[in-house]
Every structure is written in C-alpha cells, then in structure tokens.
Amino acid sequence: ASTALPTVQVHGRPLQRTWSLLAATAPAAASTLFLAHDPAAMGWRVGDRIGIAATTGVQPGLPPRSEGTTHTITSVVGGGGTSGYPLGISPPLRWAAAGGSQTVEGFTVGISAEVVNLARSVVLTGDDFSPVSAAAGGGAGPAGLHTIMAGGGAMRVEYARVEKCGQRMIKGRYCLHLHHMADCPGCAFVGNAIEDSAQGGITIHQTHRALVRHNVMWNTRGNGIYTEDGNEMGNQIIENVVVCSTAQECYVDTAITEVRRALLPPRALASTLRHPFPLIPPSLRLSSRRPISRRAFTWSA
C-alpha cells in the first residue's frame, strides 16, 4: 500500500488580479466604471460577473442607503487615463459608489469601492441551500456543499469559484477548510471566488504556514476568513477581499458565532464580530504531520 501523503489540487484559469478599486466615483445609473488597474492586464473578460461594494452606511436593522451589487462586464478597453481604466457593465449601477479621494471633515482621504471578479473557469457548486436535517446535527439553517482537508497531506485550490457552500450551525462545514493540518507550507487558497455561503468563507484550524492570498468573498455569512483556535501560526493572509451586499445579509448566527457567544462576554463578542480578522504571528518551529495512505488527485481547467 502507498504511504504517500494525500494531496488535493484544483486549478482554474489564473488572473493577474482578482479585485481592484474604483479610481473615480461612479454615479447612479453609470454603465462605465473607471478602475485603479487595467482590466485587460488583470485578465478580466467580457461576460465575467463582478461585484461592487457599497460605500455608504449599511447597519443591521436599518434600511440600506446603498448595497453591494453584481454586474456583467460588457466591454474591456486596454489602457486608461488620469481618471482610471474604463470597464463597461450591465445592468447600470443602482446607487453611486465612491472612488478615488473623498473629503471627510475637511480631510482628503482615499475611499474607494472594491470591485471583485466573481467568474472562474472551475466551479464547485452546491444546491440551493436545502435545510440541514436534525439527524445531521442541523435543523437551524440552510446547507450547501463543504470542502475539508484534514490530518495531513496538502490542499491547494487556485482560481476556482466555490458557491452555495457552508452548512449553517454545523461545526466544521465551511466552504474552504484546512483542518488540523499542522505544519502545511504546501496548503494554499489563492485567487478563489467564494459566494453565497451559509456559513463562513475560508477557515484555518490548527494549520500553520498556509497561504491565503487574493481571494474574494461575496456574501459569506457569519464570517469571511476565520482562524479557529487562535494558535494558528505563520499563515500568510494577503490581499483578500470580503464583501457583504448588506449587513443584514451576513449578520447571522453560525456554529462559529454560537461558540463565541458561549465563551466570550457580550462586549468581547461584539468586538470579534466586528473585527473577524486576527493578526497572524510568524512561526518558528511547528509540529510534523501524521501520514495518511491515500492517492492524490489534480483537477485543472
């Protein structure tokens, strides 16, 4: 029997960038955006689906003054001027979205909507959120697909789209999940688009030295990127974007928030919900992985 450690690899068409910023404010009804980066150079194409974050106040329990919206790219023009790089979209913007510099209380500051590319050549999709059965430990919310790599080996998912994922109120059921992988420099989630999650986006649990870079998350309910125990070390979490179209859309209870509510006093809990991205300290010496005898597979497109 083979004693090789298992590996999982999923590779989609690479993008030079998965997100950009508005270089100039886009008014309501605009069908052309001006980005801070050249969409052609980023690898964005006509027909790609994008999301544009809201830039006005959105609070739980209150009607939104604007919300994040999704659109289809209708034109990509290489090159740009001082106002940015043009990108045609459909349908037009419902609300204005800030870009470039804004004046706030007499100070000039950079306030720009994130523009994320949600299209990928490889798609991992669940169903339309069937209820979690009580027998499966649920009964409190919807269920999509979930992925997990546990106990050893390596998992690398690059430039894939993961949608309709996560299983509400069931621990360990997240869209992309590294679970007890210990020292795993070969583990990486890079350039993925995660959308419409019932419970979280990316979870790193007792896994060290993994790479989480250039991912975009849209409506990943409960949290976007989560280091589960707080002892995860040396992980590189770099230039990811997490967007909720409205606060109401993502401000829901999950297995993660239930655990935090049980362990933390109310003020500490509120702080962790507002700021779910802990700083990751560097790691020096890490434990080794235990071997598992399984075959590896690679999926590319």
Span 124-181, pLDDT tens digits? 998 776 665 555 554 556 788 999 999 999 999 999 999 999 988 888 999 999 999 9
pLDDT of residue 120: 98
279 vs 142: which has the higher pLDDT: 142
Q: What percent of the chain stands above pLDDT 90?
A: 58
How many CA atoms, within 13 angstroms, populate the side-chain half-sphere of residue 27? 1
Q: Report residue 84: phi and psi, to 5°.
A: 120, -170
Q: Report residue 227: phi and psi, to 5°.
A: -100, 115
> Over the chain, what is the mean pLDDT?
82
pLDDT of residue 175: 96
pLDDT of residue 57: 66
- Evaluate the CA torsion angle 227, 240, 222, 160 in order and state its sign: negative
Span 117-136, pLDDT tens digits? 999 999 999 877 666 555 55
Span 54-71, pLDDT tens digits? 988 655 566 667 899 999
CA angle 70, 72, 76 (to 5 degrees): 130
Three-state secondary structure call for residue 208: strand
pLDDT of residue 146: 93
Checking phi first, is residue 196 left (phi over 0); if not, alpha (psi -120 to 50) or beta?
Answer: left
pTM greater than 0.85 (yes/no): no
Span 200-229, pLDDT tens digits? 999 999 999 999 999 999 999 988 999 988
Contact 203, 215 (CB under 8 A): no
